[in-house]
Copies of this chain bind each other. A is one copy, B any other.
Amino acid sequence: MLKQTEKFETGQSIPWSEVIEKLPYNADGLIPAIAQQFDSKEVLMMAWMNQTSIEETLDTGRVCYYSRSRQQLWRKGESSGQVQLLKEMRLDCDGDTILLQVDQTGPACHTGRKSCFYNLIKDGKLTVDKSPLIDPEELYGNS
């Protein structure tokens, strides 16, 4: 879809309104989005966005995903308070993956860890090598 920008010079642009509706959304209307903490560069999580959540994120500056399990917009932090402020949004060469630079309040992960990628695969084992910043019960209550 973004074939036309492959040979763009640095600084060359096209109107975003010509792009957003034509992105290669999957059969469910979704695109994967990677969230990276803008200053430490730690990769925090991967989630999914639809066109509405992309537009809302750009409009509000607060990251909104689409929850596949709940089948609704998911304003990150709406139940935990751990919001993501948008610093920058990018698309990859074929337009089918989004990279978000964010400023994450507290943990990104529902387990209370900063990043969701705490499962290290090494030497024939999967080892948890990151600790929670906050007990998840404090984030979501005792339910």
Binding site for B on A (CB under 8 A): 2, 5-17, 19, 32, 34, 36, 40-43, 45-46, 58, 88-95, 97, 99, 109-111, 113, 116-122, 124-131
Contact A16 to B124, CB < 8 A, known contacts A41-B41, A46-B32, A92-B46: yes
Q: How far is the CA of A111 from the CA of B7 in the complex (A)?
A: 8
| In contact, B99 and A43 (Cβ under 8 angstroms) | yes
Query: Please, could you name 12 A-B residue pairs with CB atoms under 8 Å apart, sorted by A?
Result: A2-B126, A13-B127, A16-B124, A16-B126, A45-B92, A46-B92, A46-B97, A89-B122, A90-B119, A90-B120, A92-B116, A94-B116
A15 CA / B120 CA spacing, docked (Å)? 12
A34 to chain B, nearest CB (A): 6
Say how far A104's CB is from chain B's closest CB, in angstroms.
15
Closest partner residue, chain B, to A128 (CB atom): B8
Distance between Cα atoms of A118 and B10 in the complex (Å): 9
Report B-chain residues with C-beta under 8 Å of the C-beta of A88.
Answer: 120, 122
Question: Which residues does chain B contribute within 8 Å of A90, judged by CB atoms?
Answer: 117-121
Cα–Cα distance between A38 and B93 once the two chains are bound (Å): 21
Which residues of chain B are within 8 angstroms of A119 by Cβ–Cβ distance?
2, 5, 90-93, 95
Contacting A110 at CB < 8 Å: which of B16, B40, B46, B93?
A: B93
